[in-house]
Amino acid sequence: MKKIILLILIVHTGIISFGQGVQFAETDLEGALVQAQEQNKYVFIDFYTNWCAPCKMMDKQVFPQQNVGEYFNSKFISLKINAEKEGIELAKKYGIKAYPTFVVLDKSGDLKHMFAGGILDGDKFIGKVENTFDPQKAFGSLKRRIEGGEKSIALQANYLQALMNTHTENPEPQVESFYNSLSKEEKISDQTLFIYEFFAPFGSEKAKFFEENRAQFRQISNTQKVDSILRSKYENYLGTITKGYSQDVTIDEIQQTEKHVYSLGIKELKSLPVMVAGAKVQLTQEGKEQFLKTVDQTIPSLTDNEKDIMLYQIIPGLKKLLSESDTQYLLTLVSNEDVKGYIERSIN
């Protein structure tokens, strides 16, 4: 595994300082808890490993930000703990399996909140950490209530979503049990949207139920959110075809799928037209020029992230049909350099 050069750390008066950013205490958890009690703060722990690329990106791009530092330094005693060195036992205690994982403890050492995954937008990262203080989102608080026997639908839904974000275990068995305990009316709820988004693969009974009851979901929830869930199912399905993973699909079936998608009343189709066109090109091995026109027509309606996800699928999937100039042009449309690097490696 390639070595990545770390930022130079400036050690001063017991802290590691990233400019005006987050000040990480040079102590162990016991020492951090003492400081938290003395200063009436919480303890924030960044569990990392030496090989974790997102961990390094957080160190370089997020923790040094002044607004991030101001937020953390006023509320937390912050620690960085290597989960494969001095933090082996602590990582086991919290069931950590993904990196980076962020853990928040109160000054008594009780778990308040935790979640996994780097977030390179400083404000969004602060928002995730701020969930510590929301009893409807803080994992530790929700877990204690569940273990205490509370079973309201809202609590179970909130807990399962918080559990998902920890990446400590596969939540699917618990989600399935929760879903099966609901009546039809209870399944059509803003609180169950996460199930249809993350646990209802294309063609599954849950996905069909969501689609059949889309009008009711749109009434009780955010229409854009409902449309986004519907759209993503078909984008992923058509993406597997564009990438050549589905060999038993016919062009007639793609055309029927296209008609069906347009009948769902999705207001913003986003990358769906491109994914339909890509699937057709993959199956027929023709129509490349029209496909590229569809890409150009679609790009202005997409966010950078949506655009990169689309290009991440179509460039490697259609690499045998695209000319060198086609490929280079499409690569210029990719916004994120890491995504571009992955695409380039996958086609070379």
Same structural domain, 234 and 117: no
- Has residue 1 got a pLDDT over 50? no
- Has residue 224 got a pLDDT over 70? yes
Q: Which of 133, 166, 188 is at the close of a domain?
A: 133
- Has residue 18 got a pLDDT over 70? no
- Has residue 5 got a pLDDT over 90? no
175 found inside a domain: no
CATH code at position 78? 3.40.30.10
346 found inside a domain: yes
Same structural domain, 334 and 234: yes
- Has residue 248 got a pLDDT over 80? yes
Q: Which of 100, 133, 166 is at the close of a domain?
A: 133
192 found inside a domain: no
Same structural domain, 348 and 234: yes
Residue 20, pLDDT score: 81
343 found inside a domain: yes
List, for residues 21-31, the tens digit of each pLDDT value: 999 999 999 99
24 found inside a domain: yes
List, for residues 63-96, the tens digit of each pLDDT value: 999 999 999 999 999 999 999 999 999 999 999 9
What average pLDDT does the segment 288-316 reach? Answer: 96
What average pLDDT does the segment 139-152 reach? Answer: 96
Same structural domain, 128 and 227: no
What average pLDDT does the segment 147-161 reach? Answer: 97
What average pLDDT does the segment 261-266 reach? Answer: 96
- Has residue 2 got a pLDDT over 50? no
Q: Which of 71, 105, 133 is at the close of a domain?
A: 133
Structure confidence at residue 247 as a pLDDT band (50, 70, 90):
confident
Q: What is the DSSP letter of 4?
A: -
Domain, as residue range, for 96: 10-133
pTM (predicted TM-score): 0.86
Please list, residue by residue across 172-206, b when 16 or more beta carbons sit within 10 angstroms of its beta carbon and e when fewer do.
eebbeebbeebeeeebbbebbbbbbeebbeeeeeb
Phi-psi domain of 109 (left: phi exceeds 0; alpha: psi -120 through 50; beta: other): left
Residue 3, pLDDT score: 27
Same structural domain, 110 and 231: no
- Tell me, rounded to whole angstroms, the distance of Cα 74 from its chain centroid: 27
Structure confidence at residue 151 as a pLDDT band (50, 70, 90):
very high
List, for residues 107-127, the tens digit of each pLDDT value: 999 999 999 999 999 999 999
65 SS3 class = coil
Residue 10, pLDDT score: 24
- As a whole-number percent, the residues of the chain with pLDDT over 70 amount to 95
The domain tally of the chain equals 2
Same structural domain, 128 and 229: no
Residue 12, pLDDT score: 30
Residue 246, pLDDT score: 79
Task: Look over the chain and give the mean of its residue pLDDT values, rounded to a whole number.
Answer: 92
What average pLDDT does the segment 272-286 reach? Answer: 96
Same structural domain, 347 and 248: yes
264 found inside a domain: yes
77 found inside a domain: yes
Residue 55, pLDDT score: 96
List, for residues 196-214, the tens digit of each pLDDT value: 999 999 999 999 999 999 9
Beta strands in the chain (DSSP E): 10-12, 15-17, 23-25, 42-48, 76-82, 101-105, 111-116
273 found inside a domain: yes
